[in-house]
Amino acid sequence: MSISEFTPAATPVGMAAMPDPPAGARLDKKRFNWSSIPLLLPALGLLALLFVGPVIYSFYLGFTNDQLLGPTSKHFNFTGSANLHRLVDDPVFHQSLYLTAFFVIGSAVVGATLVGLILAVAMQNALGVTRVVVGGLVIVCFVLPPIVVALAWYAASTAHGTYTGLFGMPNADFLQSAPLLVVSAANAWNLTGLAMILFAAALRNIPTEILESAEMENASAAQRFFKITLPLLRPTLITTILLMTLLALANFTVVYVMTAGGPGTSTMILPVYSYLQAFQYNNLAYGALIGDAMVILATILSFVYVRLSRERS
Amino acid sequence: MSRKYRGGRRLVALTAIASAMTLIAACTASPSSTTSNGKTVLKVAYGSQFVFLTPQLAIKWWGTVAHEFEKAHPNVTVQFVPIPGGYPDIVNKMSLLFRTPSTAPDVAELPAGQMGEWVSSGFLLPVNKYLSTASYWNQIPKSVQNETLINGKYYGVNHGENTNALWYNMPMFRKAGLPVPWHPKTWADVLAAAATIHAKLPSVTPLWLAGGSAGGTIAIQYNGGNLLAGSTNSTIYDAKTGKWVVDSPGLRETLQFYKTLAQKHLSASVSELLNPNAVDGLPGLLAKDNTAIAVGANFYAESWVKSTCGPCWLQAPKIMGVTKLPTINGQGAGYASVLGGWELSIGAQSAHPQLAWDFIQTAQQQTNMIDASNWGGWVPPSNVANSAAAFVNYAPPYQKFFAALLPASQEEPNTSPFTVWGTGFNNATGAIIQNPNISIDAAVNVMKNYVTTQLGADKVETIG
Amino acid sequence: MAVEVETRSAPVPELPPDARPVREPRVTSGRLISNLTLVAFGVLFIAPLLWLILGSFDSHASQTIEWPHFTFGNYTGAANSANLQALRNSVIISLIATVFATIPATLAGYVFSRQHIPFKGPLLLGILMLAGVPLSILIVPIYQIFAPRNYLALVPAAIFLGVTSLPFELWIIKNFIDAVPIDLEESARLERAGTLQILWRVVVPLALPGIGAAAIFGFINAWGNFLVPLVLIANASQQPSPVAMYGFFGGNVIRWGEIAAYSIMYSIPVLILYLALSRLFRRGFVLSGAIRG
């Protein structure tokens, strides 16, 4: 029985008013479901206890004069906006922002995401052998701990390394002459495996029938890719770009071990600068403030992402 | 209740179980208090991977000391807090340990480099009143004792020291017609020898002097810091004004030395010099027999012997000679060396300071002190220990030589801003190594700008 | 007419119902391009690894790449009992971290994707914001939380590592569940299935590739982490491999060969994990079939 049967036109004259709508929950409108709470509790609980609390404390620290070691390590004071003034006037911080932007866009957005996509797509059409070997190789690169990545890349990009040999300049030192480029490449090399996995999983989700029917209608491979696959991959693309960005920001160990922010300050990306200030110069508070700046940066990016994904739906 | 809530209840039950399990699992951490099984617990913190020449030697040495101590004090258990990682990790972890009262150690092995900071944090106990019972104390040269002297009080005793000099390859020198043994009197002599090597033996690295920021500020005491110490004005921190020196004749002379090396191709390649492991890799590098002269430290000698093998180079005494690094014009003591080392200190909050001191006494007992130095790559601070056969014959003929450098060796400033100053210095030397043609003014500005930005204009000064 | 019919040739054989059109040759060139692309990238990717591989067999390994003096000594030297213990610790830590990250992330990811809760937008934004927090600023506060409660041990540190991966994993999983058509769940709900049943029987199997990817991510994140175990684990015998790796950098002696060998040994468990889970990514499914059938 559908609602339409009770329209006035169908109601015989003189009949009583419309009967009540069917009892029970409406299935067409989303309502708050109490089962949400126990499902959310583990994640939100863990995050609140072990993540949010420390982050808030860290934000507070950024406005104090706390040191890791020194007169104001155990007994520190709130210093208001003093650190903030220092941050705004700090030329190294400004440089760090530019360097971070380049690093993130270069290694995360262009590097890891693009290469991951290319690899995932290529793997669909490749021989089993090539797929397993290259796929496994890329995964190994993702798997290696940051210190090993740094060492391997150091060996490869300095004189008599594999890259310098590959490009025919065995005595050149890529790391010293183009440090930001090399550490960005190292980071991309490290993260591509994850992007590849994400895209591979998403590509599996694309129903083969759509692609096959397009093929039957004589769509070329390029058309199939750009008109069908890519739009369907869009959510994964956005997620992956965002994830790679956040991971690049978080992966400071590789850069730190390779160059320690040098030569000079040419690879002093924000995470390295924050670590340097907090743990080398013992300025815990200032390092925390720089870290807070990173969090705000990440928030802005997340906001952009949420906007983008809302447009989609 | 309708069906849909049954699943919800199951969920709640599952979540509750999971949370309980977490809490139980999390509570299985080992307790740490000052008593255990009725015995007093003494917490001893030390660097487990970086400090001794190999981690195995560290375990061996500390184990021996703990064993002897526990035998003499049956009511006490030693609880070690080994700290893995490199030098900065040790400093960071120690800071964290001291910050939290429940984890603060009773005895700590601390680097001399930041002694001032440990003290100003209020983490360490002055040991003046215990020193009278330390038989070795008066055998330690004043320059070394001063490592732990802050505001009139001593905050620890010296555990082992590093000194620096010039290593040179004797067969190469003979081949190039240079005198062996070699006794340069000035920097000009050193540079001349390097130039001769470069002319006569072109395939060899004439003079190894690392720089740049990849090795960190800890590397300075093993390379450029020694030159600065031998310049006409070696002040890094002006105690009278409380300011850090970012421009001085001494700094300029040091940077000029780097520049001469780089411009005349008298040193190794850029890659090799700016390598983060340029300091630690030197024993291996010299063993490759491809370097004529190197500014370096005492620990290479102890690295090459059979018991350490880092790497094994048993023929080293026939190949590598050592000579003092001269001051720029032969002034002053005639030679320069930076002093660095490790100290044993007592935590300010320690519940058992006397026991902590007893432990330190055991560690400083002559055999243990000599073993520590042999296995840690140090010179024993006590004159009696460092002339004893067990030390001298461990890696002849170098041990005696480096021990003799102790009295006139200079310490670097031991407060936090030194890491900032050091970064600036490294940036300057790195800039020159990468770009030999930049002017000294430009290199000095690299340093000046960086340090001024970080420390503030009111904390820096120019001398001369 | 009848004569023509009788001289007609044998009847045309019937095509099987799922016959497909013959593939055009351009698929072959596509395959060629794909394989070549993979090989090209393979070469680029293996370059830094060459040092690792060659160095691990080199008795005189140094920091530059050179033809090795062949030996297995690095492997035997690296595989001492302390380092193997560290490998075991790494596995335990990573497993705990993955469990504590992936299970809550799956449950919460489902809620964020399918269910209606107040403040969903701000909560999501907040969680994503957490994903961008650098670990270095969390270390000191977490230490100060754990230390007085004697939590400086393997399990709490592993749980913390898992929690640091939670925001990322939640996003990955939520996104995958978003991409799963809701039809199946709705038909299950019409059959009066409880939420937990829907989650376990319908959603998780469909989102398994995404959950697998998230789990791999969480595992790797914990596997390679050096800072957290260094600071949060007090007992040397509970330290994992990245920390043990530093042992090869001893004070003044760097054993490159053993570092390379240990790095390779250290990569193997994760490779195995990936290979085991890669079936998830190879397992295709056709949704329309599931609904019709």
| DSSP code per residue over chain A | --GGGGSGGGSPTTPPSPPPPPSS--SSS--B-TTHHHHHHHHHHHHIIIIIHHHHHHHHHTTB---SSSTTTTS--B-TTHHHHHHHH-HHHHHHHHHHHHHIIIIIIIIIIIHHHHHHHHHHTS-HHHHHHHHHHHHHHHHS-HHHHHHHHHHHHSTT-HHHHHTT-TT--HHHHSHHHHHHHHHHHHHHHHHHHHHHHHHHHS-HHHHHHHHHTT--HHHIIIIIIHHHHHHHHHHHHHHHHHHHHH-HHHHHHHHTT-STTTT--HHHHHHIIIIIS--HHHHHHHHHHHHHHHHHHHHHHHHHHHHH-
Same domain, B434 and B370: no
In a domain? residue A115: yes
Alpha carbon of residue B22 to chain centroid: 42
Query: B178 CB contacts (<8 Å, ≥6 apart)?
Result: B193, B196, B197
- What are the backbone dihedrals phi and psi of residue C145, each rounded to the nearest 5 degrees, phi first? -80, -45
Question: What pLDDT was estimated at residue C21?
Answer: 57
In a domain? residue B254: yes
Q: How many cross-chain Cβ pairs, A to C, lie less than 8 Å apart?
A: 332
Same domain, B228 and B198: yes
Q: Which domain covers residue A151, as residue numbers?
A: 109-253
- CB-nearest partner of A137 from C42, C137, C280: C42
> What would the pLDDT profile of A281-295 be if each residue is shown by its tens digit?
889 999 999 998 988
Question: What pLDDT was estimated at residue B29?
Answer: 44
Q: Which residue of A has its CA nearest to B420?
A: A281
Provide, as residue numbers in chain B, all residues whose Cβ is less than 8 Å from the Cβ of C149: 29
In a domain? residue B329: yes
Distances in Å between the Cα of B244 and the Cα atoms of B412, B429, B458 are 12, 18, 9
In a domain? residue A11: no
Question: What pLDDT was estimated at residue C179?
Answer: 78
pLDDT > 70? residue C253: no
Residue A9 Cα, gap to closest chain C Cα (Å): 31
**Residue C1 or A169, more confident:** A169
Residues in B 177-196 with any Cβ partner in A closer than 8 A: none
- CB-nearest partner of A295 from C34, C132, C217: C132
Query: What's the number of domains chain A is made of?
Result: 1
User: CATH code at A129?
Assistant: 1.10.3720.10
Same domain, B191 and B144: no
**Residue A59 or A31, more confident:** A59
Same domain, B73 and B174: no
**B403, B438, B454 — which closes off a domain?**
B403
Question: What pLDDT was estimated at residue C160?
Answer: 94
CB B7 within 8 A of CB C195: yes
> What would the pLDDT profile of C127-177 be if each residue is shown by its tens digit?
888 888 888 888 888 998 898 888 889 999 999 999 999 998 998 888 888
Whether residue C151 lies within 8 A of chain A, CB to CB, comes out as: no
Alpha carbon of residue B321 to chain centroid: 23
pLDDT > 70? residue A17: no
- CB-nearest partner of A73 from B99, B216, B434: B99
pLDDT > 90? residue A131: no
Residue A32 Cα, gap to closest chain C Cα (Å): 5
Q: How many cross-chain Cβ pairs, B to C, lie less than 8 Å apart?
A: 131
pLDDT > 90? residue C268: no
pLDDT > 70? residue A22: no
Lowest mean pLDDT among B195-199, B275-279, C50-54, C180-184: B275-279
Question: What pLDDT was estimated at residue C292?
Answer: 29
Same domain, B72 and B48: yes
Same domain, B191 and B222: yes
Same domain, B274 and B260: yes
Provide, as residue numbers in chain A, all residues whose Cβ is less than 8 Å from the Cβ of C21: 216
Q: Which residue of B has its CA nearest to C255?
A: B310
Q: Please state the rounded mean pLDDT for residues C32-57.
A: 87
In a domain? residue A152: yes
Inspect the interface and report whether the beta carbons of C230 and B11 lie closer than 8 Å: no
In a domain? residue A156: yes
Task: Tell me which residues of chain B have a pLDDT lower than 50.
Answer: 1-7, 25-32
Residues in C 68-97 with any Cβ partner in A closer than 8 A: none
Q: Please state the rounded mean pLDDT for residues A48-74.
A: 89
In a domain? residue A29: no
Mutation site, C271, C281, C287, C291, interface A, largest A CB count within 10 A: C281
Nearest-angstrom CA–CA distance, A126 and C106? 32
Inspect the interface and report whether the beta carbons of C253 and B280 lie closer than 8 Å: yes
pLDDT > 50? residue C286: no
Question: What pLDDT was estimated at residue B9?
Answer: 56
In a domain? residue B20: no
Inspect the interface and report whether the beta carbons of B84 and C236 lie closer than 8 Å: yes
Query: What's the number of domains chain B is made of?
Result: 2
In a domain? residue B22: no
Chains in touch with C (3+ beta-carbon pairs under 8 Å) read: A, B
Asked if CATH classification 3.30.390.10 holds for the domain at C81-252+268-284, the reply, yes or no, is: no
Pure H helices in B232-281: 249-263, 270-273
Chains in touch with A (3+ beta-carbon pairs under 8 Å) read: B, C
In a domain? residue B3: no
In a domain? residue B284: yes
Chains in touch with B (3+ beta-carbon pairs under 8 Å) read: A, C
- CB-nearest partner of C253 from B32, B54, B93: B54
> What would the pLDDT profile of B158-179 be if each residue is shown by its tens digit?
999 999 999 999 999 999 999 9
> What would the pLDDT profile of C58-89 be if each residue is shown by its tens digit?
877 776 677 778 888 888 888 888 889 999 99
- CB-nearest partner of A137 from C45, C66, C159: C45
In a domain? residue B24: no
In a domain? residue A266: no
Whether residue A165 lies within 8 A of chain B, CB to CB, comes out as: no
In a domain? residue A261: no
Provide, as residue numbers in chain C, all residues whose Cβ is less than 8 Å from the Cβ of B16: none
In a domain? residue B45: yes
Q: Which domain covers residue B379, as residue numbers?
A: 35-161+340-403
- CB-nearest partner of C226 from A36, A145, A159: A145
Provide, as residue numbers in chain A, all residues whose Cβ is less than 8 Å from the Cβ of B5: 34-35
Range with the largest mean pLDDT of A304-313, B45-54, C204-213:
B45-54
Provide, as residue numbers in chain C, all residues whose Cβ is less than 8 Å from the Cβ of A152: 48-49, 51-52
User: CATH code at B261?
Assistant: 3.40.190.10
Whole-number percent of chain A with pLDDT over 70: 88
With an 8 Å Cβ cutoff, the interface of chain C facing chain B consists of 62-63, 100, 103, 140, 143-144, 147-153, 155-156, 159, 192-197, 226, 230-231, 234-236, 239, 243-244, 246-247, 249-254
In a domain? residue A101: no
Question: What pLDDT was estimated at residue C2?
Answer: 39
**Residue C47 or B106, more confident:** B106
Range with the largest mean pLDDT of A245-259, B115-129, C4-18:
B115-129
Please, which pLDDT band fits residue C185 given cuts at 50, 70 and 90? confident
Residue C254 Cα, gap to closest chain B Cα (Å): 7
